[in-house]
Amino acid sequence: MRNKYILLFFIAVAASSCKKFLDVTPKGIIIPENVADYEGLLNAPSMTQTFPINLLDFADDNLNTFDATAQSSTANGYYWRSILTMNEKVSPDVWGPLYRSIYSANVIISGVKTAIDGTAAQKQSVYGEALVIRANCYMDLLTVFAKAYDPATAASDPGLPLVTSTDVNDKAPARSSLKNTLDTMINDVTTAIDALPTSNVNRYRVTKYIAYGLLSRIYLYMADYVNAKKYTDMALQAPHALLNYNTYANSDLMPVYDLNPEVLWQRAAESGSPIFMLYSADLKTYFDDADIRYEFLTVTNNNGLGRSSLPGEYNFGITFPEMYLTRAELLAREGKFDDAMSVVNLLRKNRIRTAGYVDQSATSAEDALVKVLAERRRELAYSGLRWYDMKRLDQQGRMPEVKRINPTTQVVEASLSPHSPKYTFEIPIRVSAFNPGMELNHK
């Protein structure tokens, strides 16, 4: 059935920076010709707005006030129901937009090397950027539609359909194993590194340091701490600075995200942001009055304490504070707890009011790890990483039961127990309907 492949990829007819992308075949397939055409596709929304906003719904950071009987994708994600998108006539949440971005990446990967102009180095650089973006899309998909990585079962656990073709008539590939999916992502990003520049035209575009940062994330998710350390250290070699929140009278005076020296890679969402999402009761306990993040990044509205924002388009990409916290976590896991706390304190000095600041210390590696993870929870709230962290920490037995408690009635409306199958959402109805042989997660 011709629609099978379309279901996976949702062809992206985008790239607003180049009018030639409006010239399409009758079937609607984009025909880029020049290196500039392919580079224009890198600037398209399908390649810059890749973060699936639904991931914020799943996290224990978030409190929602809608009726528990609601059947929207937001409600289904918030209550960890198996299926996110019940309407099989529409593009499924998370899956649809990300495979559309993967399709756009594949257009570049399959064609840019034979573009009619441009140098070999230019072609290789654009090719490398597409590889990294595709791997990042697969990373987000894995956290939703595949089990957390377990080295003992990863070779048999289902991962994702690994798409390389741009022909909508091709048959949809079967799901690769989780191990093979991750190995392919790592190979793609590693392959891209040599071709990538050390700086690029803006923070949406990929550099070597961004590739290192993504490898840091992938290896941390896999609990491969040796490689995670290697690539975290390499990412932190990029020019950057930490903002001292003490030096700003209010958040409006801070740099916009895509000019912020703390941002390594800017990623936006296709629609939506955490603005006015509510802090859960649990998340609130992580902050005290001396924490400037609690003042700058919150707003009180009619429903409670909501998330605010720094200036500019909200960032869901990779930041240098994330890399520092990854470094601190890895040091704690190595048993170097004093060094781990030194990294945490480096960040906290820039976030806590000077008058109320006190260095944190740890008495053991475990104590340091607990404190590092708490700081990660504070700093990276609503960054898009909490569900990623919940998945990997649950695999390690470090996630307590999470409850959705109605703030008015105090009724527990849903719960997510340790090692629950609810940590993995089902393949969307629309995808399995057009691909009946697609392996499901919940049998």
Tokens 């071709």, located at residue: 195
Residue 420 within any structural domain of the chain: yes
Of 378, 339, 337, 61, residue with least CA distance to 245: 378
Residue 110, judged by CB atoms within 10 A of its CB (0-12, 13-18, 19+), counts as: middle
The DSSP output letter for 297 is T
User: What CATH number has the domain bearing residue 351?
Assistant: 1.25.40.390
Q: How far apart are CA 237 and CA 243, in angstroms?
A: 17
Q: How far is CA 380 from the centre of its chain?
A: 12
Separation between Cα atoms, residue 277 and residue 298, nearest integer Å: 10
DSSP 8-state code for residue 17? T
- pLDDT (0 to 100) of residue 16: 32
Look at residue 390 in the predicted model and tell me its pLDDT. Answer: 98
Half-sphere exposure of 411 (CA within 13 A, CB side): 6
Q: Kindly give the confidence (pLDDT) of every residue in the chain, 443 residues in length, as a single tens digit, with 9 standing for 90 and above.
A: 333 433 343 333 333 333 332 222 334 455 799 999 999 999 999 999 999 999 999 999 999 988 889 999 999 999 999 999 999 999 999 999 999 999 999 999 999 999 999 999 999 999 999 999 999 999 999 999 999 999 999 999 999 999 998 887 777 899 999 999 999 999 999 999 999 999 999 999 999 999 999 999 999 999 999 999 999 999 999 999 999 999 999 999 999 998 999 999 999 998 878 998 999 999 999 999 999 999 999 999 888 999 999 999 999 999 999 999 999 999 999 999 999 999 999 999 999 999 999 999 999 999 999 999 999 999 999 999 999 999 999 999 999 999 999 999 999 999 999 999 999 999 999 999 989 999 999 86
Assign 3-state DSSP to the chain and report helix, strand, coil percentages, each to 5.
45, 10, 45
Separation between Cα atoms, residue 89 and residue 70, nearest integer Å:
19
Rg for the chain, CA atoms, rounded: 22
Instruction: Give the span between the Cα atoms of 253 and 59, in whole angstroms.
Output: 29
Q: Residue 172's pLDDT is what?
A: 81
Instruction: Report if residue 84 sits inside a domain.
Output: yes
Position 187 in a domain:
yes
In the chain, count of helices (H) and strands (E)?
17, 10
49 touches 270 (CB < 8 A): yes
Assess contact for 147 and 157: CB atoms under 8 A.
Answer: yes
Under 8 Å between Cβ of 86 and 76: yes
Distance of CA 431 to the CA centre of its chain: 22
Tell me, yes or no, whether 58 lies in a domain: yes
pLDDT of residue 265: 98
pLDDT for 302: 87
pLDDT (0 to 100) of residue 30: 55
Cα 108 from Cα 312, distance rounded (Å): 28
The DSSP result for 324-363, as a single string, is HHHHHHHHHHTT-HHHHHHHHHHHHTTTB-GGG------S
Q: Tell me whether residue 89 is in a domain.
A: yes
Give me the number of domains the chain comprises: 1
Tell me if residue 264 falls in helix, strand or coil: strand
What is the domain extent for residue 384? 3-270+312-434
Q: Which residues contact 57 (CB under 8 A, 6 or more apart)?
A: 64, 74, 77, 78
What is the rounded distance in angstroms from the CA atom of residue 42 to the CA atom of residue 48?
Answer: 7
The pLDDT value recorded for residue 171 is 77
pLDDT for 362: 98
Q: Indicate the angle between helix axes 120-145 and 208-221, nearest 10 degrees.
A: 20
d(CA 400, CA 153): 23
Angle at 313 between CA 96 and CA 22, to 5 degrees: 55
> Nearest CA to 102 among 61, 73, 137?
137
Alpha helices in 157-204 (DSSP H): 178-193
Whether 55 is in a domain gets the answer yes
Position 320 in a domain: yes
> Rounded CA gap, 104 and 209, in Å?
23
**Cα separation of 401 and 192, whole Å?**
40
User: Is position 220 within any domain?
Assistant: yes
pTM score, whole prediction? 0.93
